[in-house]
Structure 1
């Protein structure tokens, strides 16, 4: 028995005993709008689709960011003639993936980490290869794949210092878990070192797949329409905001409106279902607000526009020349700035960016981004940038260069997993 296996066995038994509670949890989440009621069976391991014939690779990403990062890998695998099952755990990720999956790929919601649900899932799909993205280390899934002899690879692997310290409280369990991975491909040398110290036997640095993801799409006609509607107005965007940051965006707008009376502020909350709350907050502060989800347009009468729809960040990044990245003025850890940087936006961010330390450091070094410590500093930076379009364009070009220089993870990942793909296709390399 592998070291730490007793802890994982205790976890597996404990979760099995809580299977009825897990079903109850799903029903509670459905009532809160956190689960798709038409696909709730998938979260219990019941398949919503037939398994395709031939070899099947299973790729899993927890939420939007992880799932979007693996889509280029999905496309490369399907081009090799491998059918791909993509799983994720959130409604928003499912909605985005449905629009972007290539032919030959299927999406399902991932089951909860409950042995009964996992057994149903694996009995139906029978994957020949499993690739988990970033930090998805679910013990029962890992155990079940190991028992069935399915090679498991961690791609775009990430392990923060905080998560590493938590795992170090149970190092034998961490080793027992990570030793079951055939390969761990880390985003950075620091991630690779932490994974190796926890017991991963084969670790390599491949880089961050998010740098190789294409810029988020947008319908050119919709872009042109909104650009015509907002022509001549100074615009800034607060993207992927968290509670506390919308109040800051409102205060910043009110401060800047004295100098820029036609200013348009776009707020895209990390969780779009908070749209009504944010619009009401803006109206209570005396701003004219409208919501995208209501079908409203950012016309001249609107001060603050809430972009509370799914899959339209590419549209608003194209509309706004300067973007504040949320999750960074509150202690969340920052949201990923790669997408707006790819589209040439000048980036502003707060001090709390530990979720993407290397990414922000690279864009900061290239002078494609500016750090701000509070609402007053954000207002000051925006005031200066909105009065200097040339500087915004220079920052945008620098950001593009920074993220392009950090690309290449997709090719390195493909090369690393190629031996597994050869085995998957019966020895015929694609």
Structure 2
């Protein structure tokens, strides 16, 4: 595809967005009905602000969902500590909850505007960011082009391109180049990601490692942990987390397999908590006794499954066990991040479809902190083996923690890459603070 065709395609994208703009209300209403949008804040998706812009320099951070939000929180805190205002946009209700619970009140959260010219321009007109920092792989054409037209520096941090995304963009290499040339810098997670961004036209590209390694362990309520541990008592536990459809059935199979050998409690944490009703119906149809976290059900000796269908409590669930299967890896593809269970003292199991976190899993496997299971039968045997062998389980846990420690350092490298963009804003923020102090004297 030639450069001319790329420009024509992007122009067509802009006009298509304008044409569908009047009809997106129904789409947002449908998402709100499913719990995927906050009804009271839908106007933010059209670019209408729900907060005033602070005086002084401002950085716009964008993180699509929970994982990306958690990854950039330390970076946001570093920027805010310099006196620079921050507005964070996310695209999901769950990530909004994470932002509210983990960030200081002065960090402004907004839902990301739809990638339509009218919405994006309205957002930018109000917030007038001095710098845009985008997490991982959020390549929205209209947003990138509008930022470029306004000469607002935009940096992609913790950048990654999955096999599927890279293949898709490679088929549209001219469009990719027309977009990525607007990026001032790409800070990629791995050498593989960096090379992929370069091949698509991004310049300059550096490598930092994965910001998720430098995040704090997910928070939890100590009082709630004590309550749940007292309910579980001396029972062994294992957990299937971030599960997608089909993987809860596999977890139920595992539970039924290990039940004659261990009076174990199985913890299931769906990736999308709104699926809780469907998951419970499947489990009860198999005559399994379920306690749901969202209902506040009490776990007793007859409970088979503890269903973690809440938002923002992964830190609680992971502290209840030492054996974890990480989902989206067996009945679905791509994998989920295994770093949180590894840093919280869990032996990590996963299916083979972990393309999105290939390097992380390679390190865990090499060091002995994780194991890949081929299928449901192998997972059943692996869970049974680890519950039966305290020594082996402990060795995996220690290897996983050591792997996480060895991978740290991405935050410092990312900050170094951002210095040319952040340092002038730091000076500007200090001057604004000085002026305010003088005015108050």
Per-residue CA distance 1:42-66 (angstroms, 9 max, x = gap): 1111111111111100110111111
SS at match of 1:62: coil
Compute the displacement of 1:429 (Å).
9.1
Q: Does 1:300 find its partner at 2:282?
A: no
- What is the aligned partner in structure 2 of residue 124 from structure 1? 126
- What is the aligned partner in structure 2 of residue 372 from structure 1? 373
Q: Does 1:84 find its partner at 2:86?
A: yes
Q: Does 1:352 find its partner at 2:362?
A: no
**Pairing 1:398-409 to 2, within 5 Å after superposition:** 398-409=399-410
Q: In 1, are the aligned partners of 2:321 and 2:346 still within 8 Å (CA)?
A: yes
- What is the aligned partner in structure 1 of residue 420 from structure 2? 419
- What is the aligned partner in structure 1 of residue 225 from structure 2? 223
Per-residue CA distance 1:11-53 (angstroms, 9 max, x = gap): 1111111111222211221222211001011111111111111
Q: For the residues of structure 2 that align with 1:269 and 1:257, how far apart are their CA atoms?
A: 21
Compute the displacement of 1:425 (Å).
3.2
**Pairing 1:143-162 to 2, within 5 Å after superposition:** 143-162=145-164
What do you get for the CA RMSD once the two structures are aligned?
1.5
Q: For the residues of structure 1 that align with 2:62 and 2:264, how far apart are their CA atoms?
A: 41
Q: Does 1:95 find its partner at 2:97?
A: yes
Q: For the residues of structure 2 that align with 1:298 and 1:364, how far apart are their CA atoms?
A: 34
Change (3 A) 1:356 1:221: same
SS at match of 2:319: helix
- What is the aligned partner in structure 2 of residue 142 from structure 1? 144
- What is the aligned partner in structure 1 of residue 247 from structure 2? 245
Q: For the residues of structure 2 that align with 1:284 and 1:27, how far apart are their CA atoms?
A: 32
Moved over 6 A (4+): 427-430
**Pairing 1:165-204 to 2, within 5 Å after superposition:** 165-204=167-206
Q: For the residues of structure 2 that align with 1:178 and 1:75, how far apart are their CA atoms?
A: 27
Q: In 2, are the aligned partners of 1:276 and 1:291 still within 8 Å (CA)?
A: no
Q: In 1, are the aligned partners of 2:283 and 2:290 still within 8 Å (CA)?
A: yes
Calculate the TM-score normalised by the size of structure 2. Answer: 0.95
Q: Does 1:395 find its partner at 2:392?
A: no
SS at match of 1:15: helix
- What is the aligned partner in structure 1 of residue 411 from structure 2? 410
SS at match of 1:184: strand
- What is the aligned partner in structure 2 of residue 207 from structure 1? 209
**Structure 2: which 5+ residue stretches go unaligned?**
432-441
- What is the aligned partner in structure 1 of residue 434 from structure 2? none
Q: In 2, are the aligned partners of 1:422 and 1:429 still within 8 Å (CA)?
A: no
**Structure 1: which 5+ residue stretches go unaligned?**
none
Q: For the residues of structure 2 that align with 1:201 and 1:97, how far apart are their CA atoms?
A: 31
- What is the aligned partner in structure 2 of residue 70 from structure 1? 72
- What is the aligned partner in structure 2 of residue 383 from structure 1? 384
Q: For the residues of structure 1 that align with 2:48 and 2:31, how far apart are their CA atoms?
A: 18
Q: For the residues of structure 2 that align with 1:113 and 1:258, how far apart are their CA atoms?
A: 53
Compute the displacement of 1:380 (Å).
0.5
**Pairing 1:239-278 to 2, within 5 Å after superposition:** 239-260=241-262, 262-278=263-279
